[in-house]
């Protein structure tokens, strides 16, 4: 890579939904970006627009095995992981490995390069929460041996590992706990509720509500999330920070909103609730407001319309968002 006048960021999971948006933001901020992805759940189409950009490089590799970067590096963003419940149910061991071994490798890279490290953690650390809304000082209610445990516990281990590198090695580390996020570049068939309902609405098939739809989620548009993450990376704050949109709704309300906004004739169909599905989820963002001067700005309807347009384009092109490998 050319001169050292620019900051260099490594983004693991750089071809994924969040990793690719983060890559775009870092390039806009004047960084060079090295994206690493094994393309199990990532999609080359998410970074296709960066082909030919001299500040961008893509390495296809599995960060759970090793990470080889010869350049000087200023920031390591560890975003590689399956992140939808279906993906981590179908890829339980890669999910555990990337949260544990992948985090170890990414921290090792950051340590060797004297770089700042940022971990993409998750609201899943709170499990099926008994505190609502969730504050960062809540330790969570996670079933370690349930089907979601492979993701939740790997991320909890990743947080422990990150704090150990911070305390023991004196490294500059950050932890973002990401709540439900939506927007363009999600995989249509990744099983999460936003692509599922929009895909069903656009295809004229029933919207599948799991359980009675009384469980709640709080949806953040991707550009807001990435802005919070960028601010956190540039801050000197080392404790975990929730980033998400506190606007909470039930899954039934969400289905009704999708039906209204798309104007579909699709009806609602009820299916069994998956094991350990959290009953409520809403971020308390007091810390992000105070430490990062951040709060979400994109209104729900505005973000959803952009997301619907993206999925409409995918459907027209026959891109159904299957996993590539694994
Ligand atoms: N869900 C649903 N229908 C679907 C997919 C998901 O009712 O087709 C529900 C799911 O049971 C959960 C919520 O929507 O209560 C959000 O699920 P998602 O998979 O998006 O992520 P989670 O927040 O559970 O990690």
Domains along the chain with CATH numbers: 8-180+221-245+282-297 (3.40.50.720)
**Statement: residue 152 has pLDDT above 90:** yes
**Statement: residue 325 has pLDDT above 70:** no
Q: Which of 86, 214, 217 for a ligand 1 pocket mutation test, highest count of atoms within 8 Å of Cβ?
A: 217
Q: Residues enclosing ligand 1, CB less than 6 A?
A: 84-85, 180, 191-193, 196, 208-210, 215, 217, 251, 273-274, 277
The predicted structure's pLDDT at residue 4: 73
Inter-residue contact 147 to 116 (CB < 8 Å): no
Q: Which atom of ligand 1 is nearest to the CA of 196?
A: 8
Q: Which atom of ligand 1 is nearest to the CA of 209?
A: 7
From the list 92, 63, 88, the residue with the least C-alpha distance to 78 is 63
The predicted structure's pLDDT at residue 323: 73
- C-alpha distances out from residue 189 to 73, 87, 132, 197, 233, Å: 34, 10, 30, 10, 31
**Statement: residue 17 has pLDDT above 60:** yes
CA distance 312 to 326: 26
Over the chain, what is the mean pLDDT?
A: 96
**pTM exceeding 0.85:** yes
The closest residue, in CA terms, to atom 24 on ligand 1 is 277
The closest residue, in CA terms, to atom 1 on ligand 1 is 193
Q: Which atom of ligand 1 is nearest to the CA of 148?
A: 25
- C-alpha distances out from residue 106 to 10, 87, 165, 266, Å: 9, 22, 11, 44
CA distance 164 to 6: 29
The predicted structure's pLDDT at residue 270: 98
The closest residue, in CA terms, to atom 6 on ligand 1 is 193
Tell me what percent of the chain is helix, strand and coil, each rounded to the nearest 5: 40, 20, 40
The predicted structure's pLDDT at residue 326: 46
- Which is higher by pLDDT, 92 or 1? 92
pLDDT in tens, 182-219: 999 999 999 999 999 999 999 999 999 999 999 999 99
Is 88 among the residues known to form the active site? no
User: Encoding tokens for residue 243?
Assistant: 């980033």
Inter-residue contact 273 to 228 (CB < 8 Å): no
Q: Which atom of ligand 1 is nearest to the CA of 273?
A: 11
Cα 286 to chain centroid, rounded? 21
CA distance 193 to 199: 10
Which secondary structure element, helix H or strand E, spans residue 12, and what is its range? strand 8-12
- Going by the DSSP 8-state scheme, the letter that residue 127 receives in this structure is B
How remote is the CA of residue 248 from the centroid of ligand 1, in Å?
14
The predicted structure's pLDDT at residue 320: 78
Contacts of 29 (CB under 8 A, 6+ apart): 230
Average confidence (pLDDT) over 21-46: 97
Q: What is the largest CA-CA distance in the chain?
A: 58
How remote is the CA of residue 193 from the centroid of ligand 1, in Å?
5
CA distance 117 to 86: 28
The predicted structure's pLDDT at residue 322: 75
88 three-class SS:
helix
From the list 95, 17, 101, 33, the residue with the least C-alpha distance to 67 is 101
Average confidence (pLDDT) over 136-150: 97
The closest residue, in CA terms, to atom 13 on ligand 1 is 193
How remote is the CA of residue 192 from the centroid of ligand 1, in Å?
5
From the list 230, 95, 246, the residue with the least C-alpha distance to 174 is 230
**Statement: residue 79 has pLDDT above 70:** yes
- Going by the DSSP 8-state scheme, the letter that residue 135 receives in this structure is P
Average confidence (pLDDT) over 11-33: 98
pLDDT in tens, 29-41: 999 999 999 999 9
- In the chain, what percentage of residues exceed pLDDT 90? 95
The predicted structure's pLDDT at residue 2: 52
pLDDT in tens, 288-318: 999 999 999 999 999 999 999 999 999 999 8
* Catalytic entry in 151, 165, 182, 270: 151
- Going by the DSSP 8-state scheme, the letter that residue 213 receives in this structure is S
């Amino acid at each position: 890579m050319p001169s050292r006048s620019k900051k260099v960021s490594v983004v693991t999971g750089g071809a994924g939904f969040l990793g690719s948006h983060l890559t775009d933001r870092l390039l806009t901020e004047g960084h060079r970006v090295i994206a690493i992805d094994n393309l199990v759940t990532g999609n080359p189409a998410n970074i296709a627009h960066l082909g030919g950009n001299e500040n961008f490089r893509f390495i296809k590799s599995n960060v759970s095995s090793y990470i080889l970067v010869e350049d000087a590096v200023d920031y390591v963003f560890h975003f590689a992981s399956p992140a939808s419940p279906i993906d981590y149910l179908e890829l339980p061991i890669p999910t555990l490995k990337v949260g544990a071994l992948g985090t170890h490798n990414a921290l090792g890279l950051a340590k060797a390069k004297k770089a700042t490290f940022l971990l993409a953690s998750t609201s899943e650390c709170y499990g099926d929460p008994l505190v609502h809304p969730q504050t960062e000082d809540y330790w969570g209610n996670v079933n370690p041996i349930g089907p979601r445990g492979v993701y939740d516990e790997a991320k909890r281990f990743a947080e422990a590992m990150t704090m150990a590198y911070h305390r023991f090695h004196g490294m500059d580390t950050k932890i973002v706990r990401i709540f439900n996020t939506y927007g363009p570049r999600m995989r249509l068939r990744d099983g999460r509720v936003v692509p599922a309902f929009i895909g069903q609405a656009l295809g004229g098939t029933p919207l599948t509500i799991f359980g009675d739809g009384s469980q709640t989620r709080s949806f953040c548009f991707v550009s807001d999330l990435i802005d919070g993450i960028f601010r956190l990376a540039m801050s000197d704050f080392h404790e975990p920070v929730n980033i998400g949109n506190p606007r909470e709704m039930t899954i039934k309300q969400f289905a009704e909103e999708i039906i209204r906004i798309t104007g579909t004739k699709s009806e609602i169909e009820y299916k069994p609730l998956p094991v350990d599905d959290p009953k409520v989820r809403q971020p308390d963002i007091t810390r992000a407001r105070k430490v990062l001067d951040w709060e979400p700005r994109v209104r729900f309807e505005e973000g959803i319309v952009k997301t619907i347009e993206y999925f409409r384009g995918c459907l027209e092109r026959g891109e159904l968002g299957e996993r590539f490998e694994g």
